[in-house]
Amino acid sequence: MIRGLQIRLLPTKEQEVQMFKTIGACRFAWNWALAYNIKYYEENKKSISKVDLRKIFNQIKKQEFEWIIQYSSQSIANEFENLNVAFKKFFKKEAKFPRFKKKKDVRQSFYVRNDNININQTNGTLNIEKIGRVKYKSDRKIPKNVKYSNPTASYNGKYWILSFGIEVEKQDVQLTDKSIGIDLGIKTLATCSDGMTFGNINKSKKVKELTKRLKRVQRSISRKYKMNKDGNKFIKTKNIIKAEKKAKLISKKLTDIRNNHLHQTTNAIVKQLPNKIVLEDLNVKGMMKNRHLSKAIGECSFYEFRRQIEYKAEQYGIEVILADRFYPSSKTCCKCGQIKSDLKLSDRLYICDCGNIIDRDLNASKNLSQYEIKTK
């Protein structure tokens, strides 16, 4: 299986400038290819292959834009591949029509040639084509003599990150015979059938303080834009740029805290080594329509939780089961199996006629742990 790794890059100022220019060159190649695709289809009523498109680009660049030769040809060529994938997804109705990339809203990243990275763990450097030897920092040992799949250098507003995938073998471990059901929620992020509970990090003091600070900075940015409005145009001053950078860093810190909490939670569950893990197939899109809860649901990142559980469980050979979306896990008594159809969202305790009084979320997780047995 492929496992993703991330290491922090420590480029010099000159290397950082060159990396930003490479990102700009990749954006230019994408926009040129998309514009040529659209024009070619309008004239010929058919699409052009990525191979032919790249050939035309290589012929034109020698005459019209020689400056692009100073950047990695592999990074540029990868943009044609990405555009081809984007068009395939569009024709399969899995995504919208590809859009032109703008400097202000595009993801700051570029593909790194995978056969030329040459990581030297002794002096902590690696090679990036046309950039040179770049220092890096990582707590993990990077395997030698392996193929790095899809290495990408990206800038997140504060740090440069190199992310890539490596082939790893499944862990040979002895699994227990227990089944863990997981009920996801807003009050408590995850309630497990074995009694483990993991709180919602968004209710912590640190996250609340950062959220409050972010709102304050965003209001300040809004006021500055209004003060510098010239007719129908908004003038971006240096103070606005500083404030926007500050807001971006706070937002990044919030994202990092939430992701770290998700990783700690999913690691703790998977390392129990259960035979199987049962999750709810939540209709998150439908849940987000509730305007009172949409913000809280979005911050919990239920899909990311499920994604992490799935790939971490695969590494240990743990079976992951998705319970049917309409399975009444919350309304069913985990002792006698009676369904309480009038259960409200405000009822935090499940009280059954059989005398069973249990926390609503714990009851749901216990039902999920026995999902296959009850549905057979």
> 323: which strand partners?
280
Question: What whole-number distance in Å separates Cα of residue 269 and Cα of residue 192?
Answer: 8
Specify the pLDDT at position 267: 95
Query: Tens digits of per-residue pLDDT, 68-102?
Result: 989 999 999 999 999 999 999 999 999 999 999 99
- The rounded distance, in Å, linking the Cα atoms of 81 and 86 is 9
Query: In the predicted model, is pLDDT for residue 128 greater than 60?
Result: yes
- Write the DSSP symbol of residue 135: E
Q: Are strands 132-137 and 197-199 parallel, antiparallel or unpaired?
A: unpaired
> Is the pLDDT confidence value at 376 over 60?
no
Match 């009084």 to its residue by tokens: 357
Question: Residue 374's pLDDT is what?
Answer: 60
What would the pLDDT profile of 161-214 be if each residue is shown by its tens digit? 999 988 877 778 889 998 999 999 988 999 999 889 999 999 999 999 999 999
Which strands sit side by side in the sheet containing 179-184, from one edge to the other? 197-199, 188-192, 179-184, 276-280, 319-323
Instruction: Give the separation between CA 43 and CA 247, rounded to whole angstroms.
Output: 45
Query: Which residue type, as a one-letter code, is found at position 129?
Result: E
Q: Where are the domains of the chain?
A: 1-169, 179-203+250-323
Q: Which residues pair with 120 in a beta bridge?
A: 125
Q: What is the mean pLDDT of residues 359-363?
A: 88
How many Å apart are CA 322 and CA 281, to the nearest integer? 6
Beta bridge partners of residue 339, listed in sequence order = 332
Give pLDDT, residue 278.
94
Q: What integer pLDDT is reported at residue 166 of this predicted model?
A: 86
The values of phi and psi at residue 328, to 5°, are -80, 70
What does the DSSP assignment read for 26-75?
HHHHHHHHHHHHHHHHHHHSS---HHHHHHHHHHHHTTT-GGGGGS-HHH
Mean pLDDT of the chain, nearest integer: 90
User: Is residue 373 predicted with pLDDT exceeding 70?
Assistant: no
pLDDT of 241-280, one tens digit each?
Answer: 999 999 999 999 999 999 999 999 999 999 999 999 999 9
- The per-residue pLDDT for 275 is 93
| Among 264, 257, 157, residue whose Cα is nearest residue 208 | 257
Please state, in angstroms and rounded to a whole number, the distance separating the CA atoms of residues 95 and 260.
Answer: 29
